[in-house]
């Protein structure tokens, strides 16, 4: 089994959206590389992709309560006045790029592992939506109830209009063998806030991050979203001694154009909240 599959599972197949949108190649692994390249297929229209990604943007930024408030108040106050007051989607270009890339990585790992990973939608807790959030880009947990054990999935995601050797090195460095999940306590605290997830929060609270790391119970995934030569740049410059790191490259024709269309569609949906 290729190490890519061992770490995060096989590439999703249709009808999963990633199976329709992307083809994948698991490149031969080496001591310093474990790379899965992703590229668009003609099997998913741009409109379908943008609509799906816009829904994910809203899901990751708005909790159900805020969506319901939008639906209830829209007719009374009008979208512009009320929605701006509870705005969770960033306006800043750099933050939008980063958020979308993190969401794609999160959703891809969820799909490829095909496991009910425990997660929190961290952008819902941003105190300044136009500033990048600190902490892990992606943090999810697979909890084994019978063995009372966990596997942590830690991710780093970066957007570049044009791929560079330096960004490949930056992602690999951020996911070195020394990297620990800094947001684990944040995840537990969010779980403990709700009666529906408090029991799981209490179970995870017993695990010490340093011990989890020492036991090798962390899987690392990096994503570079960039133009189509992205895979070649990763192949030429990825160098990591972390044997539990799988590097994902996603090359599209114009990533900035994709980002702009996705956020425009998300704003259109929020302007008509009954469609959400």
Percent of the chain whose pLDDT exceeds 90: 86
- Looking up tokens 């001591």 gives 31
Q: Is the pLDDT of residue 273 over 80?
A: no
Could you give the C-alpha distances from 53 to 46, 95, 143, 174, in angstroms and in order?
A: 10, 16, 27, 26
The answer to whether 142 and 112 are in contact (CB under 8 A) is no
- According to DSSP H, which parts of 62-183 are helical? 64-77, 79-85, 93-113, 165-174
Chain mean pLDDT for the chain? 94
Backbone angles phi, psi at 142, to 5 degrees: -105, 115
Question: Strand 218-227's sheet: what is its strand order?
Answer: 22-26, 35-40, 245-252, 218-227, 149-159, 138-144
Q: Is the pLDDT of residue 18 over 80?
A: yes
pLDDT, position 3? 97
Q: Is the pLDDT of residue 81 over 70?
A: no
pLDDT, position 191? 96
pLDDT, position 255? 98
Judged by DSSP in three states, 137 sits in coil
pLDDT in tens, 217-261: 999 999 999 999 999 999 999 999 999 999 999 999 999 999 999
Average pLDDT over every residue of 4-16: 98
Q: How far is 170 from 162, CA to CA, in rounded Å?
A: 15
pTM over 0.75: yes
Handedness of CA 261, 44, 168, 152 (dihedral sign): positive
Q: How far is 115 from 150, CA to CA, in rounded Å?
A: 12
pLDDT, position 20? 98
Nearest to 208 by CA among 191, 188, 178: 188
Residue 270: pLDDT band with limits 50, 70, 90: confident
pLDDT, position 83? 66
Q: What H or E segment, with its residue span, contains residue 249?
A: strand 245-252
Which of these ranges, 107-121, 158-172, 262-276, has the smallest mean pLDDT? Answer: 262-276
pLDDT, position 78? 57
Nearest to 98 by CA among 196, 171, 151: 171
């Amino acid at each position: 089994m290729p190490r890519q599959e061992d770490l995060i599972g096989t590439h999703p197949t249709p009808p999963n959206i990633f199976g329709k949108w992307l083809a994948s190649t698991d490149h031969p692994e080496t001591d310093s590389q474990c790379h899965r390249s992703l590229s668009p297929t003609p099997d998913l229209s741009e409109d379908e992709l943008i609509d799906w990604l816009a829904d994910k943007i809203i899901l990751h930024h708005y909790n159900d309560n805020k969506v319901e408030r939008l639906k209830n108040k829209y007719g009374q106050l009008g979208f512009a006045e009320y929605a701006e007051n509870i705005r969770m989607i960033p306006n800043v270009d750099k933050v939008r790029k980063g958020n979308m890339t993190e969401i794609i990585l999160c959703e891809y790992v969820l799909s490829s592992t095909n496991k009910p990973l425990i997660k929190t939608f961290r952008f819902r807790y941003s105190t300044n939506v136009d500033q990048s959030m600190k902490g892990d880009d992606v943090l999810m947990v697979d909890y084994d109830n019978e063995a009372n054990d966990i596997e942590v999935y830690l991710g780093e995601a970066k957007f570049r209009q044009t791929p560079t050797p330096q960004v490949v090195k930056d992602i690999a460095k951020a996911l070195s063998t020394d990297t620990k999940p800094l947001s684990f306590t944040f995840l537990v605290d969010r779980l403990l806030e709700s009666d529906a997830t408090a029991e799981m929060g209490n179970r995870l609270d017993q695990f010490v991050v340093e011990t989890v790391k020492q036991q090798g119970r962390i899987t690392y995934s990096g994503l570079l979203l960039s133009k189509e030569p992205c895979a070649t740049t990763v192949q030429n410059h990825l160098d990591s001694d972390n044997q539990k790191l799988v590097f994902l490259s996603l090359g599209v024709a114009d990533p900035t154009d994709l980002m702009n269309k996705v956020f425009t569609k998300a704003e259109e949906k929020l302007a008509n909240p009954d469609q959400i």
